[in-house]
Amino acid sequence: MEETDDVAHRDLAGSWTPKVTAALRASGNDMAANWSTFHHVLNRARWSPLAVSRQLLLLIVETFVPAGADVDLVLDETLERRWGSKIRKRGHYRDSALSSRERSVSSPGLRWIV
C-alpha cells in the first residue's frame, strides 16, 4: 500500500495548474467572474490523496448505491511498463499480458492495484 500511496502522491503533487484548470472547466466555473479566486485556493492548498479518495468514494456510494444495498469491490492489477532515472518505485512483476499457464514472464514497471 505504501508504494501505491507514494506514486499517487507524486502524481498529485506534480504540476497543479493544468489539473486545477481542467477541474474548473469541468465544473462549469471557467467563465465565472471570480475564476482566479477558485484557482488560487485550489492551486495553493495542501492535498491529501488518501483523504480526497476517501471523500470521493463516499460521495459515489451515497449517490449511486441504494440504502441497505451491498457493495461489491473488484480489484484489478495493472502493470505499467515505465523506466528511466526518475522512476523510483519500478520493479519486476509478473506480466499477465505476456504470461500463459505454461510460461511466466516478468517485466519491469510500476504495478497498480485498482
Nearest to 91, CA basis, from 104, 114, 110, 77: 110
Are 27 and 58 members of one domain? Answer: yes
Report percent pLDDT > 90 for the chain: 9
* Cell output for 48: 491529501
pLDDT of residue 16: 46
Q: How far apart are CA 104 and CA 62, in angstroms?
A: 41
Residue 70 counted as domain residue? no
> For the chain, what is the domain count?
2
Are 10 and 60 members of one domain? Answer: yes
Q: CA 99, 6, 51, 17: dihedral to nearest 10 degrees?
A: -100
pLDDT of residue 18: 65
Residue 107 counted as domain residue? yes
Are 53 and 81 members of one domain? Answer: no
Residue 7 counted as domain residue? yes
For residues 53-65, average pLDDT: 91
> Which residue among 27, 43, 64 closes a domain?
64
pLDDT of residue 59: 93
Are 57 and 25 members of one domain? Answer: yes
pLDDT of residue 10: 42
pLDDT of residue 4 exceeding 50, the answer is no
Three-state SS for the chain is: CHHHHHHHHHHHCCCCHHHHHHHHHHCCCCCCCCHHHHHHHHHHCCCCHHHHHHHHHHHHHHHHCCCCCCCCCCCCEEEECCCCCCCCCCEEEECCCCCCCCCCCEEEEEEEEC
List, for residues 6-53, the tens digit of each pLDDT value: 444 444 444 444 677 777 777 777 777 777 777 777 777 777 878 888
Residue 52 counted as domain residue? yes
Between residues 30 and 58, the one the model is more confident about: 58
Residue 90 counted as domain residue? yes
Q: How far apart are CA 98 and CA 105, in angstroms?
A: 6
- Parent domain of 98: 77-113
Report percent pLDDT > 70 for the chain: 83
Residue 95 counted as domain residue? yes
Please report which confidence band the pLDDT of residue 71 belongs to, taking 50, 70 and 90 as the band edges.
confident
Are 6 and 47 members of one domain? Answer: yes
